């Protein structure tokens, strides 16, 4: 895989609603991080969960970003068009013996035995199906029970050895292979997952600098491990602070007033909207 000598950044929204100011902040952040260094900016539509995504939201994303003053390379990568790429990555992990089928329901998967856990951190999957006797596993498969595929994170860590990544804000970070536990890499209903698709796509799109909100910081531990297991290059990362609403809470897609559409309809200009998105000078080309 050829790494670009100029930075390549990306913005990767899911078409499950209209973009709001938080998305505008992320998109402008990525766009400027590339352009300030003479680099390239690409887009990706993260629509693996087709039941939650709608074509009109995808069209609205492109329209709203263009209105905001951004431009990007084409073609735009749409994840649902590339399921084969994720399947090939799963095959490689399977061949290394690092995946196991998980038959647990959502409720079972989030029930953590008795271990107390940090309230700020989501409960990790307790590894129930990793410990299933092989005969039981084969029986459930023979019965046609639906299963997800999980990464055996302990085995994966043993294979990769210590890993790290560079974060522009926090410096060199030691990857914690167990940070999110045995993550799902293929869902019961969809033959991939956020973690797998994002890692494969960032490499296939030649992304050298992943910029995204700090709410996704913990995911990078998993992505770094997947890069090592799949022989993909390790990009640099920049996890930016989230833009908060007037109430001090993070913006959500349901906050209709903060959508770029609503702001445009209320008469805001792109420059005013960029300023509201945290780029105070309102200029899209500012260095
Ligand atoms: N699609 C994700 C989202 O909408 C972003 C993924 C990423 O930046 O890694 O939040």
pLDDT tens digit sequence for 158-183: 999 999 999 999 999 999 999 999 99
Phi, psi of 151, rounded to the nearest 5 degrees: -85, 130
Asked which of 35-49, 184-198, 246-260 is least confident by mean pLDDT, the reply is: 246-260
Mean pLDDT for the stretch of residues 222-245: 95
Tell me the pLDDT band of 254, cut-offs 50, 70 and 90.
Answer: low
69 — pLDDT class (breaks 50, 70, 90): very high
Ligand 1 atom closest to residue 44's alpha carbon, by position in its atom list: 1
The residue nearest atom 2 of ligand 1, judged by CA position, is 13
How many C-beta neighbours within 10 Å does residue 226 have?
23
State pLDDT tens for residues 111-121.
654 445 455 56
| pLDDT value, residue 284 | 57
Kind of pairing, strands 99-102 and 148-151?
antiparallel
| Reported confidence tier of residue 250, pLDDT bands at 50, 70, 90 | confident
Ligand 1 centroid to residue 13 C-alpha, Å: 6
The confidence score (pLDDT) of residue 22 equals 93
| Ligand 1, atom 10, residue with closest C-alpha | 13
Ligand 1 center to 194 CA (angstroms): 8
In this prediction, residue 287 carries a pLDDT of 36
> How far, in Å, is the centroid of ligand 1 from the Cα of 273?
21
Predicted pLDDT at 114: 41
What are the φ/ψ torsions at residue 184 (nearest 5 degrees)?
Answer: -80, 130
Quote the CA–CA distance of 162 and 176 in Å, as a whole number.
8
Instruction: Quote the pLDDT of residue 283.
Output: 58
Q: Is the pLDDT of residue 31 over 90?
A: yes
Res. 282 pLDDT band, cuts 50 70 90: low
Phi, psi (deg, nearest 5) at residue 67? -60, -40
Distance from C-alpha of 69 to C-alpha of 52, rounded to nearest angstrom: 27
pLDDT given for residue 120 in this prediction: 58
Residue position matching structure tokens 């940070």: 179
Tens of pLDDT, residue by residue over 34-65, are 999 999 999 999 999 989 999 999 999 999 99
Residue 240 sits at φ, ψ, to 5 deg, of -90, 160
The pLDDT tens digits for 74-101 are: 999 999 999 999 999 999 999 999 999 9
Cα(35)–Cα(17) distance, integer angstroms: 27
Return mean pLDDT, the chain.
91
């Amino acid at each position: 895989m050829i790494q670009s000598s100029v930075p390549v950044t990306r913005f990767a929204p899911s078409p499950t609603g209209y973009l709001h100011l938080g998305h505008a902040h992320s998109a402008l952040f990525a766009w400027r991080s590339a352009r300030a260094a003479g680099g390239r900016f690409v887009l990706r539509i993260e629509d693996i969960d087709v039941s939650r995504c709608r074509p009109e939201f995808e069209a609205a994303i492109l329209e709203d970003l263009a209105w905001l003053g951004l431009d990007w390379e084409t073609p735009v990568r749409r994840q649902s068009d590339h399921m084969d790429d994720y399947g090939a990555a799963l095959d490689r992990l399977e061949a290394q013996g690092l995946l196991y089928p998980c038959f647990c329901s959502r409720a079972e998967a989030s029930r953590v035995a008795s271990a107390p856990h940090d309230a700020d951190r989501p409960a990790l999957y307790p590894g129930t199906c990793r410990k299933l006797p092989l005969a039981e596993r084969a029986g459930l498969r023979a019965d046609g029970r639906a299963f997800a595929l999980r990464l055996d994170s302990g085995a994966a860590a043993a294979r990769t050895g210590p890993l790290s990544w560079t974060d522009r804000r926090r410096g060199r970070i030691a990857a914690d292979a167990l940070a999110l536990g045995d993550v799902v890499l293929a869902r019961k209903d969809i033959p991939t997952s956020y973690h797998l698709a994002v890692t494969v796509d960032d490499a296939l799109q030649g992304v050298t600098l992943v910029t995204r909100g700090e709410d996704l910081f913990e995911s990078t531990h998993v992505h770094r491990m997947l890069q090592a297991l799949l022989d993909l290059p390790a990009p640099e990362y920049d996890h930016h602070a989230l833009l908060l609403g007037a109430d001090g809470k993070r913006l959500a897609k349901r906050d209709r007033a903060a959508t770029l559409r609503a702001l445009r309809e209320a008469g805001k200009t792109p420059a005013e909207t960029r300023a509201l998105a945290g780029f105070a000078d309102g200029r899209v080309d500012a260095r």
